[in-house]
Structure formats: C-alpha cells, structure tokens
C-alpha cells in the first residue's frame, strides 16, 4: 500500500515506516517537491494534522498521512504544545527548544515531582482533499533536569515515559516504537486501514 507522509522530517518518516512495517511503501514530501509546505495555522494538534493531510492529498493521487505532535508540560500550562517544534522561535532547533524548556521550568519553580508531561500525537488520513480519519496517541511521563541519551530527536533526551527510568533517547528503537505517542496513534491508523 502506497502511503505519503506529509512531512519533510526524515526522523519522523523513518519512525513511521518502521512502525507500519513492510506492507506499506512509505514516502514523504522530500520525494515530492511539487507539494508545497503547509502553513500550520491551527491552534490544536487535530487542526494542524488535518490541514497538512488535506493540502497534500489535493496534489498526491493516493493516501496521505500527516501528524501533528508535541510535548505538553503541566507546570507550563500545557506548553510548548502545538509550538513544540518552534518553542525557541521560528528558526529554532531541537537544542534551543530543549534549552528553553528547561529554562521555563526553572523559572516556574517546577521541581522534579511537578514536571509531569505527556507527548501527544494526532494523525490525519486524507485522500482527494478529504479527511478520512483522525487518530490520537498519548504517552505520559516526566521531564528531567538534564539531557540523557543520544538517540531520538526533539525532546526525547529530557522525557522519561511512565514505567521506565530511561529517557526516550536512551531506550532502544524497538521499545520507543512500541511505547511512543506516535506508535499509539499509528496502531489505530493501521487497524483502520486493515479493517477496510
């Protein structure tokens, strides 16, 4: 089954392809320069995921999957949320985003016991300019005070999922792909596609 992932984030594409397995021929927007980037103007993960999937599916003749995901930290009122990828500014990168997160937690006086957080992922399937399904996955955990591990990307080196003592950046791909917010949303996507 051909599936276009509406992203240019190679880490995300690789993770999705690994989780979905060999029954899917996964490509992303890097292979389709004719599809422009979508302005993520939504205020929720659901809105942004749907926007990206619908816009790409108006050009791509097949099934499109997009996601919008991010980190929600309770001590920061749910921030960075939909702004996770650009938390330190429009031109930010993972290093600056993580630095700002730790600074904001220190400024808020959040100690280890109050640094509860979750990764949330909403995925949208679309075809022919119409959303055909929305799927959500969440993983609860906590933010630690310094980076640990050199795997993963984004906030993985600061996030310890419930039931583990290691960060996502320290856990194996096999464990992360089973426990992550993205994998939990993808399980629902896969069930939906195989049921049809």
User: Tens digit of pLDDT for each residue in 82-141?
Assistant: 999 999 998 889 999 999 999 999 999 998 778 999 999 999 999 999 999 999 999 999
pLDDT, averaged across the chain: 93
Q: Say which CATH number the domain at 33 has.
A: 3.90.950.10
d(CA 177, CA 6): 19
- Model pTM? 0.89
Closest CA to 121 of 25, 19, 23: 19
Return the active site residues.
68
pLDDT in tens, 186-195: 999 988 988 7
User: Given a cut of 70, is residue 196 above it in pLDDT?
Assistant: no
The whole domain housing 182 covers 2-195
Question: Using 50, 70 and 90 to split pLDDT, how confident is the model at 14?
Answer: confident
Query: Domain tally for the chain?
Result: 1
Torsion of CA 3, 181, 94, 51, to 10 degrees: 50
């Amino acid at each position: 089954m051909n599936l276009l992932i509406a992203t240019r984030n190679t880490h995300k594409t690789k993770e999705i392809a690994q989780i979905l397995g060999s029954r899917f021929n996964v490509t992303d927007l890097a292979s389709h320069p004719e599809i422009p980037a979508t302005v993520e103007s939504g205020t929720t993960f659901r809105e942004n995921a749907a926007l990206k999937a619908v816009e790409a599916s108006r050009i791509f003749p097949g099934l499109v999957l997009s996601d919008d995901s991010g980190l929600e930290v309770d001590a920061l009122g749910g921030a960075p949320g939909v702004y996770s990828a650009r938390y330190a500014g429009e031109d930010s990168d993972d290093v600056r985003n993580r630095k700002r997160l730790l600074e904001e937690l220190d400024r808020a006086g959040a100690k280890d016991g109050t640094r509860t957080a979750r990764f949330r992922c909403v995925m949208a399937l679309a075809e022919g300019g119409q959303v055909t399904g929305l799927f959500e996955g969440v993983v609860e955990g906590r933010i630690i005070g310094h980076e640990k591990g050199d795997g993963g990307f984004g906030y993985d080196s600061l996030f310890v999922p419930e039931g583990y003592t290691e960060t996502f950046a320290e856990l194996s791909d096999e464990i992360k792909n089973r426990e992550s917010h993205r994998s939990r949303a993808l399980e629902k996507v896969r069930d939906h596609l195989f049921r049809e």
